Amino acid sequence: MTQLETRHDETALSPSTPMDVRLGLTDPKDDAFPLRWGIIGAGQISRQWVPAVRACKGATVSAVAARSKERAEDFAAQHEIESAYGSYAEMLASPDVDIVYVGTIHTLHKEHALLAIEAGKHVLCEKPLGGNAEEAKQMYEAAARQGVMLQHGLWTRFFPAVEHARWALEQGMIGDVVMVQADFDPVYTIQAAVLAFGIEVRPIITTFPKATVLEYPEDRSAVLSFITYLSEFPERTEIVGTKGRITLEQPAHCPTGITLRVPEKVPSRYLNANTPAPAHRFEYPIPETVSIPMAYPNQSGFLYQAEAVHRCLAAGLLECPQFGKQESLYFMDLLEVVLGR
């Protein structure tokens, strides 16, 4: 990724500023960059995606393709989409589609993303990117050959609360990370560990039926619990450092709240082992886009990811720094081991 000239007013930045804007890679106004979206897959996740992406200033949802023409037409009618196709190839041949959202089941992600890439379309593919790390690598290689974007659709990374957490980590606000504890499913909890510990070192991985432990050098570790359907447990992510703690509040895979606990500069004589670090809570309400019945929690948050894609393509970038190729491949490698693929 090439560092472009700074495109924003430094004084306007905040801890939750999107990473692409904060690094000076994109112009924050370029969420209005025009892109015509085609949708592959007419299932539940696509039903969540369309209302959110429509709130992006530059987005037009121009087409949908599904396994049958009837299914695509039903989806198009529900979401007021102009064109419906019963053939993926037919939609991908349309000049009215610039970028494709792949919202099919994960076992078909590689097949459908490659169809779009070979047709010269940019692609935002739902997580996980492929069935394993090798598939993901092949997909990125194909995108590079075609000169198009392939963005791994890990929407969590684009939420302002997560942007704030990354900023706090980069600023060293909690010191060196020593522990991560995350609850939900393998995809979301592994990405939390990768966010906190980075991609420089591959951990030792020990798997259990409902949990995984990642052991890093210097006695650092991540404890990941897979309790997706146990609603009585709070779904939080805790990142513990030598100087403080970051909590991504429930639901941590699409959070609207972050709590920072960092000791204030208080004379040591007033502190003891039982003195808790002050808690600073920050709230980032989700956008008020169109909602639909049976929506996933905070589904309007898909908008953050869409806006980043528009900004990055406007700047000539083929990935979003919030979750780029190298981090994606590292993540896929860990996920493959944890899932036993």
Domain at 10-156+297-335, CATH class: alpha beta
Cα 135 → chain centroid: 19
CATH of domain 160-283: 3.30.360.10
| Residue recorded with tokens 């693929």 | 341
Question: What confidence score (pLDDT) does residue 297 get?
Answer: 86
Non-local CB neighbours of 151 within 8 Å, separated by 6+ positions: 122, 123, 124, 125, 309, 319, 320, 323
Same fold, 10-156+297-335 and 160-283: no
The rounded distance, in Å, linking the Cα atoms of 259 and 268 is 24
| Residue recorded with tokens 């404890």 | 223
The rounded distance, in Å, linking the Cα atoms of 37 and 321 is 21
Question: What confidence score (pLDDT) does residue 30 get?
Answer: 98
DSSP string for residues in 211-277:
EEEEEETTTEEEEEE--TT-TTS---EEEEESS-EEEEPSSTTS-SEEEEE---S--GGG--TT-PP
| Structure tokens, 212 | 């995984």
Residues 245, 249, 251: CA angle, nearest 5 degrees: 145
The rounded distance, in Å, linking the Cα atoms of 331 and 198 is 10
Question: What confidence score (pLDDT) does residue 288 get?
Answer: 81
The rounded distance, in Å, linking the Cα atoms of 156 and 234 is 17
The rounded distance, in Å, linking the Cα atoms of 198 and 211 is 20
Q: What pairing do the DSSP bridges indicate for beta strands 150-153 and 99-102?
A: unpaired
Residues 176, 329, 208: CA angle, nearest 5 degrees: 70
Question: What confidence score (pLDDT) does residue 216 get?
Answer: 98
Domain boundaries, the chain: 10-156+297-335, 160-283
The rounded distance, in Å, linking the Cα atoms of 235 and 288 is 23
- Return the bridge partners of 63, or none: 38, 83
Question: What confidence score (pLDDT) does residue 301 get?
Answer: 95
Residue pair 158/21 in contact by the 8 Å Cβ criterion: no
| Residue recorded with tokens 């956008």 | 287
Cα 273 → chain centroid: 37
Question: What confidence score (pLDDT) does residue 290 get?
Answer: 67
Distances (CA, A) of 339 to 13, 182, 310, 324: 39, 17, 33, 22
Question: What confidence score (pLDDT) does residue 267 get?
Answer: 45
All residue ranges of the chain with pLDDT < 50 are 1-11, 266-271
Question: What confidence score (pLDDT) does residue 341 get?
Answer: 73
Residue pair 146/123 in contact by the 8 Å Cβ criterion: no
The rounded distance, in Å, linking the Cα atoms of 72 and 88 is 10
Residue pair 150/100 in contact by the 8 Å Cβ criterion: no
Question: What confidence score (pLDDT) does residue 318 get?
Answer: 99
